Amino acid sequence: MAKRIILDTDPGIDDSLAILLALASPEISLEGLSVVHGNSSTEQGTSNALSVLELAKASHIPVYHGCELPLVQPSLLAPETHGDHGIGYAKLPAPLNLPQVQKGSDYLIEKIMSSPGEITLVCIGPLTNLALAIRQEPCIVENVKEVFIMGGAIRHEGNTTPLAEFNTYVDPHAAHIVFHSGMPITLTPLDVTYQCIFLKDDLNRLLKIESPITKFISAATRFYMEFHDEYQKIDGCVINDPLTLALTFMPELCDYQELYVDVDLSGGVSMGNTFADFYKMTKKSANMKVALGVRPRDFMELFLERMEKLAESIA
Ligand code: BDR
Ligand code: CA
């Protein structure tokens, strides 16, 4: 049976690619999207989520507007990374659908509690919606099936400060609540995502298919590639979020360690930094499974094949 998935997301260029991968993957059933602030405002991200679903002819999937601000920290958006509208140079028509009336965190609670042990959450933005949901209804901790999180940098340098990854830096307090909640977590940090580079050759392979899907991917990733070239001297772009989604049905793409992981909240230079107790010095039990090794080209081949199929189906 297909895995029942809710995507908590801040679309976002790589978030949009994760939405497309979810739609193109028969192993999972995408039941809904909750949107959070992050790469762009929640309002812009919600509009992007609806437009991407409409582009892929999946407008039946409901989208929920989540939290606009981090729990404690001031807002931090990422127009330099994802463009002023969150999807790089891509231009999608304004969505025909509206978001649902229910708030994102209420939706997470309702879905998890109405199907105990069945819902897998995939969180690919700051963790504000999930942290709020945990505070509001702690019973979701025992009733969620699994949580896959894109976030953190364990042995890797940060991508937002020298020490911190974007999603954990933007709402470190939310990450702290989620990491210590007791939920069964699999973390996909920058240690593995920064090995998954979408190259110009990969884009050219997709562009052999004429489709609104390949046009969208091209316009969105062209901006992302320029960002990676200018700020990080990376040729191509790192597609963090689709890797996290892929692990829900192809866990063998990565190697994992069970670790105790925490996030720094001290407010200094390491605010939002995620660190793991590899040598069990704290004597605390592991609170998550952390992906620390990856087969990047196997992942990319999966991603490209799925995008080709989706593009062929939407001419
Ligand atoms: C994460 O931050 C965002 O820029 C991406 O969408 C991804 O979820 C990577 O640090
Ligand atoms: Ca994201």
Q: What range does the domain containing 231 cover?
A: 3-313
Q: Using alpha carbons, select from 314, 300, 54, 37 the residue that is nearest to residue 167.
A: 37
Q: Which atom of ligand 1 is nearest to the CA of 124?
A: 8
Q: Considering its fold, how many domains does the chain have in total?
A: 1
Cβ–ligand 1 contact at 19 (below 6 Å): no
Residues 6+ apart with CB under 8 A from 242: 14, 17, 18, 21, 303
Cβ–ligand 1 contact at 241 (below 6 Å): yes
Residue having the nearest C-alpha atom to atom 2 of ligand 1: 166
Q: Which ligand is nearest to the CA of 240?
A: 1
Q: Which two tokens stand for residue 109?
A: 């609670």
Please write the tens of the pLDDT for every residue from 200-228. Answer: 999 999 999 999 999 999 999 999 999 99
Indicate whether 264 pLDDT > 90. Answer: yes
| Cβ-contact 185, 147 below 8 angstroms | yes
| Cβ-contact 58, 32 below 8 angstroms | no
Residues 6+ apart with CB under 8 A from 213: 20, 55, 56, 307, 310, 311, 314
Q: Which atom of ligand 1 is nearest to the CA of 82?
A: 4
> What CATH number did the domain enclosing 25 receive?
3.90.245.10
Indicate whether 255 pLDDT > 90. Answer: yes
What's the average model confidence in pLDDT over 287-313? 98
Cβ–ligand 1 contact at 150 (below 6 Å): yes
Bridge partners of residue 63, in order along the sequence: 33
Q: Report which DSSP code applies to 252.
A: G
What's the average model confidence in pLDDT over 126-145? 98
Q: Which residues of 138-165 are buried (b: 16+ CB within 10 A; e: fewer)?
A: eebbebbbbbbbbbbbbebebbbbebbb
Q: Cis omega before residue 125 (within 30°)?
A: no
Q: Which atom of ligand 1 is nearest to the CA of 160?
A: 10
Please give the pLDDT value at position 297: 96
Residue 281 Cα, ligand 1 centroid: separation in angstroms?
30
Please give the pLDDT value at position 216: 98
Q: Which atom of ligand 1 is nearest to the CA of 165?
A: 10
Indicate the pLDDT class of residue 197, thresholds 50, 70 and 90: very high
Please write the tens of the pLDDT for every residue from 139-185. Answer: 999 999 999 999 999 999 999 999 999 999 999 999 999 999 999 99
Cα dihedral across residues 157, 73, 63, 98: positive or negative: negative
Output the CA angle 5-43-270, nearest 5 degrees.
75
Cβ–ligand 1 contact at 166 (below 6 Å): yes
Q: Percent of the chain scored above 90 by pLDDT? A: 99
Indicate the pLDDT class of residue 315, thresholds 50, 70 and 90: confident
Cβ–ligand 1 contact at 12 (below 6 Å): yes
